[in-house]
Amino acid sequence: MAIGTDSAPARSATTWAVIAGISLCHMLNDVMQSLLAAIYPLLQAEFALSFGQIGLMTFAFQVTASLLQPGVGIVTDRHPFPMALPIGMASTLLGLGFLAFATSYPLLLAGAMLIGLGSAVFHPEASRVARLASGGRHGTAQSLFQVGGNLGTALGPLLAAFIVVPLGRPSIAWFAVAALLGMLILSRIAAWHSALRRRTATQTGPRPPLPLPRAQVAFVIGVLAMLVLSKNAYTASISSYYTFFLMERFGIALQPAQVLLFVFLGAMAAGVALGGIIGDRIGPLAVIWISVLGALPFTLALPHVGLEATAVLSVVIGILLSCAFPAIVVYAQELVPGRVGMVAGLFFGFAFGMGGIAAAALGVLADLRGLQTVFLLCSFLPALGLLAALLPTRRRLQGRMG
């Protein structure tokens, strides 16, 4: 991958090698992160965990990421730190070591938190790199960056099913090879980023003004956050408990259940790829409408159908729901210009945090009322997509800026 510091491109050009590299590293990073949820059945059997304890592990991972990501984004907006990329990957590597060799539940929680720390450091700076390399194709670059993460999240359960389940929990340590590869690539991308900053240092002008009054910007950010909540609370129910739901409702074994989870997560990756690309053509607001609210009929049907229909509906739901996130990030970056890291950290962090809180709460509910109740309740969450009616159009934003 030729991204040497002596050939850093101008900001007007789309640097596809950098986008491909950051997407690949996002995939490696999220493969390792997704192993946490993928091995929950193994951990439940080995450590006699309740659903509440499983939810707490997701909470430890995702809330660590959510609390730190906005802060990391704010700091790196003011003081860019390209080497945050390989450092974040190193933290994820250390967390994997804890998961592979932990002898107690507190050590499992520590591993989950280290993985969350790696996510908090990686995502804001990686999102900034994707935007810098986009050449103006912000939605496309954001989608390609995010699709790497979704592919990694999808591959995690599959790798767990065919590597970790047969070979045992210590085999998680083998994924250190992926982490080391990612650190090598990210070091090169960090060098490209540093070179680009040096070349454009004299071109940096004053931060552009907000397109709307500050109070209205805060309100719109709140609406976007509620849309992220509806999406991530639902996907938390799938990623944390879908395998248990399939095994309990349809009596299938762990491996086929994990394959079906991979199918759902793979559909989410496809949706992320489509969301930004379509958003560059029709605008992010239209994608947000189609994505969040469009999934509602299918989520309502999913708890009531057979195994084959469940698999089909999960694909449709995965594609539709995941279209929204790159569109939301691009829309928010246009709403708060000049704060790329803060916006990325805020929304990636909020997504992780809400997913973690939802996973913990749904785990307690599953212990009390059963998984069927969890999936029935979550099926109504996409109705929050109606809040998209409160978002100003891109024409209004651009009109205020012009």
What does the pLDDT read at residue 137?
77
Cα separation of 361 and 236, whole Å? 10
Cα separation of 70 and 59, whole Å? 17
Tabulate helix, strand, coil % of the chain (nearest 5): 85, 0, 15
- % the chain with pLDDT above 70: 89
Name the pLDDT band for 306 (thresholds 50, 70, 90): very high
Residues sharing a CB contact under 8 Å with residue 198, sequence separation 6 or more, in sequence order? none
What does the pLDDT read at residue 399?
52
Weakest-pLDDT range from 87-91, 187-191, 262-266: 262-266
3-state secondary structure of 206: coil
- Written as six digits, the tokens of 27 are 């995939």
Number of Cβ within a 10 Å radius of residue 341: 25
**Interval 25-83: pLDDT, tens:** 999 988 888 788 778 888 888 898 888 888 888 778 877 877 777 777 777 777 777 88
What does the pLDDT read at residue 50?
86
What does the pLDDT read at residue 4?
39
Residues sharing a CB contact under 8 Å with residue 336, sequence separation 6 or more, in sequence order? 210, 217, 221, 342, 343
Weakest-pLDDT range from 110-114, 215-219, 340-344: 340-344
Judge contact between 318 and 262, C-beta under 8 A. Answer: no
CA 318 remoteness from chain centre: 13
Cα separation of 387 and 293, whole Å? 9
173: pLDDT strictly greater than 70:
yes
Judge contact between 89 and 182, C-beta under 8 A. Answer: yes
- Written as six digits, the tokens of 128 are 């900034």
3-state secondary structure of 128: helix
Number of Cβ within a 10 Å radius of residue 122: 31
206: pLDDT strictly greater than 60:
no
Integer-rounded Cα Rg, in Å, for the chain is 20
Pick the closest to residue 276 from 221, 333, 327 (CA basis). Answer: 327
Distances (CA, A) of 235 to 6, 232, 360, 376: 42, 5, 13, 13
Architecture of the CATH domain 12-401: Up-down Bundle (1.20)
Strands (E), 50-147: none
- % the chain with pLDDT above 90: 15
Judge contact between 34 and 163, C-beta under 8 A. Answer: no
107: pLDDT strictly greater than 90:
yes
8: pLDDT strictly greater than 50:
no
Cα separation of 7 and 48, whole Å? 54
What does the pLDDT read at residue 205?
52
Angle in degrees, CA 229, 318, 73, rounded to 5: 45
Domain ranges of the chain: 12-401
